[in-house]
Chain A
Amino acid sequence: MEKALEISNLKKIYKGGLVALNGIDLNVNKGDFFALLGPNGAGKSTTIGIISSLVTKTSGHVKLLGIDIDKNHSLAKKKLGVVGQEVNFNQFEKVGNIVLNQAGYHGINMKKAKENTEHFMKRLDIWDRRDEVARTLSGGMKRRVMVAKALVNNPELLILDEPTAGVDIEFRRSLWEFLIDINKLGTTIILTTHYLEEAERLCKNIAIIDQGEIIENSGMQDLLSRLEAETFVLDLGSELRDIPQLDGFTFKQNNPKQLIVTIKKNQNLNSVFTELSNRQVKVVSMRNETGRLEELFLNLVETSGS
């Protein structure tokens, strides 16, 4: 499988001796939608910083689409788009010029730069705001500008560092749809996020980094299948006064029209439904109590830290 990103033995020790990355290895396949997760200070942003030349590595190798960033820095960067964690454009500039200039920095000629700018700004619903000064935009709109800026050179690899931090649900959902679309068109995406629901919903593969080391690197489904127990919330059509007693299940109630069921791996909910049906209680809806990935993430990070 062709690799979009190959990281080998990557180390970063900051001045003062802080070891941000302790020789990590990481591969991301071309076309993947990859989640890079970890608690604050784990090394996610340092990794992205090194890939995008914002941070100088101490040692190790990074290849973007087979190109070593040390040997052919310029060619490697042509294929890369990065959405940083913080707003990183001149806020006194017009929105359209910010995106257009970014194309220029990549060496894209004016005609193509204008086409790309218009295309991505329209896709992200910010074309109508192109003549406005950036600082007048809301946080969500600024995020859209950053995404448009990162895409204006048609990158083959797009890295997003917490792109939905602090934005409203509407923008989050629309960005998810947009990212799924461009991933389907062939763009490899690496996403860091603190919203594990986001990673679970979007990403096919995942790596978890903690204290500068990769502590987990696998497929999302493989990882989720390791979950030992899962909790479901059942919304009921009528009140349930007596909590059922079934072997192997743990039940809880916050109110009479709701039942919280925890099941172990390899168990199913059929006997719960049968029991409720016998009592003439209908299940109106069902959902996970918490993100499955969140539980796994906490387990892994706690194990890594201990």
Chain B
Amino acid sequence: MTTLEILIALRTIVRKEIQRFTRIWAQTLVPPAIMVVLYFIIFGTLIGSRVGQMGGFDYMQFMVPGLIMMSVINNSYSNVVSSFFGVKFQNSIEELLITGMPNYVILCGWVLGGLARGLIVGFMVTCVSLFFAELVVVNWLLTLLVVLLTSILFSLGGFLNALFAESFDDISIVPTFILTPLIYLGGVFYSINLLPDFWRNFSLVNPILYMVNAFREGVLGVSDLSSLGMSVSYAIYMILFFIIFLFSINLYFLNMGKGIRT
């Protein structure tokens, strides 16, 4: 395929993916916004008023970056895992395999689809947050970079999950038993400085902690990273490392035909 043909093929996958999740907007775009409203009402208004300040900000303000990241991570991951597994399940993966499309185009197409949903949901959650908390972004570049890279990373994670999944159970195991605990323990709702030493140290192996805090650094200008003796660039490099690692491993398994060829 020529470069132009590859770009057309990539655009086709991305367009199809965006059409897919916008067609079922009631399942894909609305629930994250409703969930965030509930979080703000319950944790922000009812409980948050008793928590007081955290990191020098109102608890509502402190929570906003965490909730945005949580939505971006969940939606990027679930978009790719459910869509690509659906394509495998319905055999419509054959539509792609019988063309001369390189495997990296398939991978990039789904990742860009996940990125699109992650960013749209992230934007919606941000808009909803503005009704509950004042938000002044301190570092736009850092904020956008972290949200972009995190969305790509979790889209790649969703793709790997879908490649190996053989049943609908397999696509819910990772989000339920791995992703959700890591998100909740990743500093979305609290500063890890509040934790006892053991749990604080334990939290350091959670990669989502660095993503949430890098994003919070971009939005609020404060995070747990400095108290951990780490710079934001450390978090960025770590996300980049995982992106390269997951991209390579996905491409390797795609080339092997894992889950898509017999």
Residues of A at under 8 Å CB distance from B? 14, 49, 52-56, 73-78, 80, 82, 84, 86-92, 97, 101-102, 104-110, 149, 153
User: Closest Cβ of chain B: how far from A300's Cβ, in Å?
Assistant: 28
Q: Do A106 and B99 have beta carbons less than 8 Å apart?
A: yes
Given contacts A49-B262, A56-B262, A82-B98, contact A108 B91 (CB under 8 A): no
Closest chain B residue, CB of each to CB of A79: B100
What 7 additional pairs, Cβ within 8 angstroms, besides A73-B100, A86-B91? Answer: A52-B94, A52-B98, A53-B261, A84-B91, A88-B95, A101-B16, A101-B95
Known contacts being A56-B257, A74-B102, A77-B100, is A105 close to B91, with CB within 8 Å? no
**How many angstroms between the C-alpha atoms of A91 and B261 in the bound complex?**
21
* B6 interfacial by beta-carbon distance below 8 Å: yes
Separation of A73 and B19 alpha carbons in the complex (Å): 29
B2 partner residues in chain A, CB cutoff 8 A: 107
Q: Would you call B90 an interface residue if the criterion is a C-beta within 8 Å of the partner chain's C-beta atoms?
A: yes
Asked whether any CB of chain A lies closer than 8 Å to the CB of B170, the reply is no
Given A52-B97, A107-B4, does the pair A89, B92 have CB atoms closer than 8 Å?
Answer: yes
Contacts of A54 in B (CB 8 A): 94, 97-98, 261-262
Q: List the 6 closest pairs (A to B, CB-CB), nearest first.
A: A107-B5, A104-B12, A74-B100, A77-B100, A88-B91, A88-B94
Known pairs A14-B262, A49-B262; A105 contacts B94 (CB<8 A): no
Q: Quick check: A106 and B261 within 8 Å, CB to CB?
A: no
Please determine whether A101 and B100 come into contact, CB atoms closer than 8 angstroms.
no
**Contacts of B91 on A, CB cut-off 8 Å?**
84, 86-88
Main SS of chain A's interface residues? loop
Indicate if the CB atoms of B261 and A107 lie closer than 8 Å.
no
* Contact A88 B6, CB 8 Å, known A52-B98, A54-B261, A74-B100: no
Are B262 and A89 in contact, CB atoms less than 8 angstroms apart?
no
Within the complex, which residue of B1, B12, B261 is in contact with A74, where a contact is CB–CB below 8 Å? B1
Interface string of B1-22 (1 = CB under 8 A from A): 1101110110111011001000
The reply to whether B95 and A105 contact each other, CB–CB distance below 8 Å, is yes
Least distance between A139 CB and chain B CB atoms (Å): 16
- Report whether A149 and B95 are in contact in the complex, using a CB–CB cutoff of 8 Å: yes
Shortest Cβ gap from B19 to chain A (Å): 8
B79 CB, min distance to chain A CBs, angstroms: 15
B101 on interface, CB distance cutoff 8 Å: yes
Instruction: Tell me whether B87 is interfacial, beta carbon within 8 Å.
Output: yes
Q: Contact: B98 with A77, CB < 8 Å? A: yes
Q: How far is the CA of A137 from the CA of B11 in the complex (A)?
A: 27
CA distance A87 to B86 in the complex (A): 14
Contact between B8 and A108, CB atoms less than 8 A apart: yes
A90 close to B87 (CB less than 8 A): yes
Q: How far is the CA of A90 from the CA of B97 in the complex (A)?
A: 15
Establish whether residues B100 and A91, one from each chain, have CB atoms under 8 Å apart when the complex forms: no
A120 vs chain B, min Cβ distance (A): 15
Contact call A53/B98, Cβ cutoff below 8 A: yes
B236 is an interface residue with CB less than 8 A from chain A:
no
Q: Does the CB pair A106–B100 fall under 8 Å?
A: yes
Residue in B5, B11, B86 with the greatest tally of chain A CB atoms within 10 Å: B5
Closest to B87 in A: A90
The verdict on B96 contacting chain A, using a C-beta distance below 8 Å, is yes
Contact status of A55 and B4, CB under 8 A, knowing A74-B102, A105-B96: no
List 19 A-B pairs, Cβ < 8 Å. A49-B262, A53-B261, A54-B262, A55-B261, A77-B98, A77-B100, A78-B100, A80-B98, A86-B91, A90-B86, A92-B23, A97-B16, A101-B12, A102-B95, A104-B9, A105-B95, A106-B99, A107-B9, A153-B99
Considering the complex, give the chain A residue whose CB is closest to the CB of B23. Answer: A92
Residues in B92-147 with C-beta less than 8 Å from chain A: 92, 94-102
Separation of A191 and B34 alpha carbons in the complex (Å)? 53
Per-position 1/0 for B152-172, Cβ under 8 A of A = 000000000000000000000
CA distance A229 to B232 in the complex (A): 86
Most buried by B among A55, A89, A105: A105
CB neighbours (8 Å) of B261 from chain A are 53-56
CA of A106 to CA of B98, assembled, Å: 9
Q: Are A105 and B262 in contact, with the CB atoms below 8 A?
A: no
Q: Considering the complex, which residues of chain B in the window 223-262 have a beta carbon less than 8 Å from any beta carbon of chain A? A: 257, 261-262
Residues of B within 8 A of A76 (CB): 100
User: In the complex, A110 Cα to B9 Cα: how many Å?
Assistant: 11
The distance in angstroms between the C-alpha atoms of A97 and B19, with both chains bound, is: 10
Q: Which residues of A contact B4 (CB under 8 A)?
A: 107, 109
A residues in contact with B262, CB < 8 Å: 14, 49, 54-56
Complex CA distance for A89 and B94, rounded to whole angstroms: 8
